[in-house]
Structures are given as C-alpha cells and as structure tokens.
Amino acid sequence: MLEKYELASENWISNIVEQGDDDALFASGYLQGHFAVVLSQLEVEEEQGFDALNEKMQACLVLAREELDDRDYELVEQAWSELSEIIKA
C-alpha cells in the first residue's frame, strides 16, 4: 500500500516538475517533505490505508497553516487535494 502512495507521489511530482509553474513547484516540494515523513510513520503502524494517510497529512496541514502565509498555505492545501485524489483512484 505504501509503495502505491510513494509511486503516485513520485509520478505527480515528476509531472509538476515538467509542466508546473513556480507555485506548483513550491507547493509540491513543501508537501513532498511532509509526505515522506508520514510514509515513514505509517511503515511502523498497523493501519496503512488511505484514511490513516489522510489523517496524518491533515495534521501536517495544521502545521503548515502555522508556518505559511495564507497564499502559500492555500497552494499546499490544493496540492494535497490533488495528490490525495490521485492516490484514492
């Protein structure tokens, strides 16, 4: 399951690097760091489904809300929405 998430993330980021603008590159890079941490946490947990992934990513978004200005936060939140839709498919 985690391999599927990681592969989806890698493909999504590759696509953004090829076609994305500066905002998309920023948001995907920021999100990628949090995503990698969450995947490493899930490796040692029993529950590794999308709900567990999303719960941990939502906690990361709370931290992002504190770290980023409104515009950057919206970019990161939108990036997670996009990536999560790809992962769920």
pTM of structure: 0.92
pLDDT digits (tens, 9 = 90+) for 30-39: 999 999 999 9
pLDDT digits (tens, 9 = 90+) for 42-63: 999 999 999 999 999 999 999 9
**What phi and psi values does residue 25 have, to the nearest 5 degrees?**
-65, -45
pLDDT, residue 1, reads 86
Tokens standing for 36?
């990698």
Is pLDDT of 9 > 90? yes
List, in order, residues 6 or more apart from 49 with CB less than 8 Å away. Answer: 1
pLDDT, residue 89, reads 83
**Confidence at 85, pLDDT banded by 50, 70, 90:** very high
